[in-house]
């Protein structure tokens, strides 16, 4: 018998309170640690993790000052109109000398500010600059000036399965925990907090648990290559399958959030089937959406966007994500054995997947 595939965000949420990412698809509200021994353990600290001679000890010493623990309090409407407060704990890391911090959107959902705990014991308040639930990325800004150490940002475009990685975060509130492993898989699809697909996620066997959300996944040189975001588990604990939002996505989104406080994603308005070399079928064309208005129909097989051949759903999503709402794009399909081309005016992605 096949068991249900359960994917969980890795933020700690107070027991009995509405969680930062509760109730979204197969995501669940996560209870705080009950005092038993956490599943996350580190590998031997003296094992070399990099070809350039960096050990895990050296990597940790370099990266840890840039990684923070976040305590986030938010208000929500409870039963009978009463307001109730929820507390979430997650991780984050400093990305520049101006005190900007990135984390997951589901860590700070519904909150205006957060308490930032640094590795040296300092604490500071930070305001939320902007969030993007479609990629599960958020940017915060420290409210008081202080010397901070930015974490170097790498690239997720040339990762290889088997290369060593490490994660630093606060699983179960255990601030500054280091775990290590490898890149176990690439180009995974995970679900965002608002129900859309995050493409290109990095799979790792580095131990991730509740509270790791928003922390960095590091390459062997100590550069961030992703934000640790979800685990796949039947028990709710680490079983060696974790996911990180790729850093190339994070950099793009963070840049837009710093500029305007929001991100607008282009929207085609379709659900995609499994692709082949012959194209990607449209499993559904959402009524009233950009594709429907242009004349696309369920069952059409998309073979090219803007003249570029597509053979899988990720290529379709990437072609749309590379454009802005309001842009016109040529979508070529096959229908009843004939090739047709439609001009679609892309819309703005809604706040929730349909």
Q: Which residues are catalytic?
A: 106, 136, 213
| CA 285 distance to own-chain centroid | 26
Count of C-beta atoms within a 10 Å radius of residue 232: 18
CA distance 303 to 281: 9
Nearest to 229 by CA among 186, 174, 167: 167
Going from the C-alpha of 175 to that of each of 70, 89, 116, 206, the distances in angstroms are 10, 10, 11, 16
Distance CA 77, CA 84 (A): 6
């Amino acid at each position: 018998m096949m068991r249900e595939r359960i994917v969980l965000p890795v933020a700690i949420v107070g027991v009995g309170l509405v969680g930062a990412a509760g109730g979204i698809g197969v995501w669940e509200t996560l209870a705080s640690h009950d005092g038993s021994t956490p599943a996350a353990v580190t590998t031997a600290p003296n094992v070399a993790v990099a070809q350039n001679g960096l050990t895990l000890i050296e990597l940790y010493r370099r990266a840890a000052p840039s990684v923070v623990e976040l305590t986030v309090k938010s208000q929500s409407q409870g039963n009978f109109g009463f307001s109730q407060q929820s507390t979430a704990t997650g991780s984050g890391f400093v990305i520049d000398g101006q005190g900007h911090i990135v984390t997951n959107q589901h860590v700070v959902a519904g909150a205006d500010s957060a308490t930032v705990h640094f590795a040296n014991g300092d604490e500071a308040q930070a305001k939320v600059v902007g969030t993007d639930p479609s990629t599960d990325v958020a940017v915060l800004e420290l409210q008081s000036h202080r010397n901070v150490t930015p974490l170097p940002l790498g690239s997720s475009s040339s990762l290889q399965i088997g290369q060593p990685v490490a994660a630093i975060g606060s699983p179960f509130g255990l601030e500054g925990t280091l775990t290590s492993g490898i890149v176990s898989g690439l180009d995974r699809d995970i679900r965002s907090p608002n129900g859309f697909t995050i493409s290109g996620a990095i799979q790792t066997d580095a131990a991730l648990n509740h509270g790791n959300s928003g922390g960095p996944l590091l390459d062997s040189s100590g550069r961030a290559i992703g934000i640790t975001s979800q685990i796949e588990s039947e028990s709710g604990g680490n079983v060696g399958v974790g996911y990180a939002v790729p850093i190339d996505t994070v950099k793009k989104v963070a840049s837009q959030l710093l500029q305007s406080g929001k991100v607008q994603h282009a929207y085609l308005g379709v659900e995609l089937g499994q692709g082949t070399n012959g194209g990607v079928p449209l499993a559904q064309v959402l009524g009233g959406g950009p594709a429907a208005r242009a004349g696309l129909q369920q069952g059409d097989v998309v073979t090219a966007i803007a003249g570029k051949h597509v053979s899988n759903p990720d290529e379709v999503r990437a072609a749309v994500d590379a454009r802005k709402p309001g842009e016109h794009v040529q979508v070529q399909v096959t229908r009843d054995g004939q090739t047709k081309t439609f001009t679609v005016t892309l819309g703005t992605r809604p706040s929730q997947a349909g």
